[in-house]
């Protein structure tokens, strides 16, 4: 009977040493305070009362870096926050080399965000966010690599600027749009002037083209407006028309005299 009790106790102790780690987990095992290895995933066994473990989640984690009020290089106070994605790639370092790797990663991202904003002017923060995000990821990743943590991505989420600066930027944008409109109008007027100069040169070389254009304008005015139009004809055309009329009148009188005789 005592042997049976002892056997049951021994079996219970042995069974108590079995552990199970999920596919995304690893067990960092310490034996009498010293690191002895990584266990998992799946079923594994620890020496009861001697071995102890800390489980590490190997999946990617998402951390929101709280909004920070910081000053840009051109002395503009802005509020900015960010989102950080990181993953543990070395469970031993994540447990042995830092007390709380999650909090450590957050603090590094927080201070790095403030520092990198201070190195850029406001226009760069607003227009070159992808470059700043990549630079921030590199800085944080270099700091956390010693802890067995890999920074996968960092994204600035929102950038809040003062209302006075928003109004100034709106006025600047309006001025730029007005400038572009004036440049486009000036280009159009320049092109029109070039066309008119070419037309004037063509008319100077061929005066009949001016009369044709004038008659075309008269016909267009008459078609669009039901009004009386007074046309000033050149003296050359009037003299030519008078000569033709006189010629036809003389020939008509000559024919009449011949028939009466």
95 and 151 assigned to the same domain: yes
In this structure, the dihedral spanned by the alpha carbons of residues 246, 250, 253 and 258, taken in order and rounded to 10 degrees, is -170
Q: Which residues of 70-100 are buried (b: 16+ CB within 10 A; e: fewer)?
A: bebeeebebebebebebebebbebbbeebee
Q: Which of 8-17, 23-32, 185-194, 206-215 is the most confident on average? A: 23-32
Q: Which residue has the tokens 């469970």?
A: 91
85 belongs to a structural domain: yes
Q: Looking at the structure, tell me whether residues 29 and 67 fall in a common domain.
A: no
For residues 32 and 79, state if they share a domain: no
Higher pLDDT, 43 or 196: 43
Tell me the two tokens of residue 44.
Answer: 């594994």
Instruction: Write down which residue in 142, 161, 180 finishes a domain.
Output: 161
pLDDT above 70: percentage of residues in the chain = 75
25 belongs to a structural domain: yes
| pLDDT band at 65; cut points 50, 70, 90 | confident
CA-CA distance, 33 to 50, in Å (whole number)?
Answer: 9
Residues 102 and 157 both lie in one domain: yes
Lowest mean pLDDT among 69-78, 84-93, 205-214: 205-214
Higher pLDDT among residues 240 and 77, named by residue: 77
Inter-axis angle of helices 101-118 and 129-144, nearest 10: 140
**CA dihedral of 251, 256, 259, 261, whole degrees rounded to 10:** -110
Per-residue pLDDT reduced to its tens digit, 83-139: 999 999 999 999 999 999 999 999 999 999 989 988 988 888 888 888 999 999 999
Q: What is the pLDDT of residue 109?
A: 92
pLDDT at residue 28 above 90? yes
- Per residue in 159-195, pLDDT tens? 888 777 666 666 766 777 777 888 888 888 888 888 8
Q: Which of 145, 161, 177 is the endpoint of a domain?
A: 161
Looking at 107, 135, 161, which one is the last position of a domain?
161
Looking at the fold, whether 71 and 136 belong to one and the same domain comes out as yes
Per-residue pLDDT tens for 221-248?
A: 655 555 565 555 555 555 655 666 677 6
Average of per-residue pLDDT values in the chain: 82
| 113 and 156, same domain (yes or no) | yes
Residues 129 and 86 in one domain: yes
Please report, for the chain, how many H helices and E strands are present, in that order.
8, 8
pLDDT value at residue 260: 47
| CATH (domain of 105) | 3.30.479.30
What is the spatial distance between Cα 202 and Cα 212, in angstroms, rounded to a whole number?
13
Dihedral sign from CA coordinates of 47, 49, 50, 52: positive
Rounded to whole angstroms, the Cα distance separating 5 from 176 reads 91
User: What DSSP string runs through 95-143?
Assistant: HHS-S-HHHHHHHHHHHHHHHHHHTS-HHHHHH-HHHHHHHHHHHHHHH
Residue 27 pLDDT level (bands cut at 50, 70, 90): very high
Residue 73 lies in a domain: yes
* CA–CA distances in Å: residue 105 to residues 54, 93, 108, 154: 19, 13, 5, 12
Task: Report if residue 2 sits inside a domain.
Answer: no
Give domain status of residue 233, yes or no.
no
Domain total of the chain: 2
In a domain, 41, yes or no: yes
Q: Spell out the residues 6+ positions from residue 69 whose beta carbon is closer than 8 angstroms to its own.
A: 77, 78, 79
Q: Are residues 77 and 152 in the same domain?
A: yes
36 and 94 assigned to the same domain: no
| Domain span including residue 86 | 61-161
71 with 48, same domain?
A: no
Residues 44 and 99 in one domain: no
- Do 108 and 37 lie in a common domain? no
Considering the domain boundaries, does residue 145 fall inside one? yes
User: Which of 26-35, 101-110, 206-215 is predicted with the least confidence, judged by mean pLDDT?
Assistant: 206-215
Q: Does the residue 4 lie in any domain?
A: no
């Amino acid at each position: 009977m005592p042997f049976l009790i002892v056997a049951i106790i021994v079996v219970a102790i042995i069974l108590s040493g079995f552990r199970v780690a999920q596919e995304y987990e690893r067990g960092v095992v310490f034996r009498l305070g010293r690191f002895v290895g990584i266990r998992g995933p799946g079923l594994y066994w620890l020496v009861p009362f001697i071995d102890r473990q800390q489980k590490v989640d190997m999946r990617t984690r998402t951390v929101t870096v709280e909004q920070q009020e910081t000053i840009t290089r051109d002395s503009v106070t802005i509020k900015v926050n960010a989102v950080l994605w990181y993953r543990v790639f070395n469970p031993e370092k994540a447990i042995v080399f830092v007390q709380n790797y999650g909090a450590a990663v957050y603090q590094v991202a927080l201070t790095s965000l403030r520092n990198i904003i201070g190195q850029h002017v406001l226009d760069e923060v607003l227009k070159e966010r992808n470059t700043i995000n990549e630079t921030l990821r590199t800085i944080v990743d270099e700091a956390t690599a010693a802890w067995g943590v890999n920074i996968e991505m960092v994204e600035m989420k929102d950038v809040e600027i003062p209302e006075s600066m928003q109004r100034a930027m709106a006025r600047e944008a309006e001025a730029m749009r007005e400038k572009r409109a004036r440049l486009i109008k000036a280009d159009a007027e320049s092109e029109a002037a070039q066309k008119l100069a070419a037309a004037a040169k063509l008319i100077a070389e061929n005066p009949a083209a001016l009369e044709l254009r004038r008659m075309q304008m008269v016909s267009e005015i008459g078609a669009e407006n039901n009004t009386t139009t007074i046309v000033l004809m050149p003296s050359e055309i009037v003299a030519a028309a008078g000569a033709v009329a006189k010629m036809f009148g003389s020939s008509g009188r000559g024919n009449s005299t011949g028939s009466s005789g």
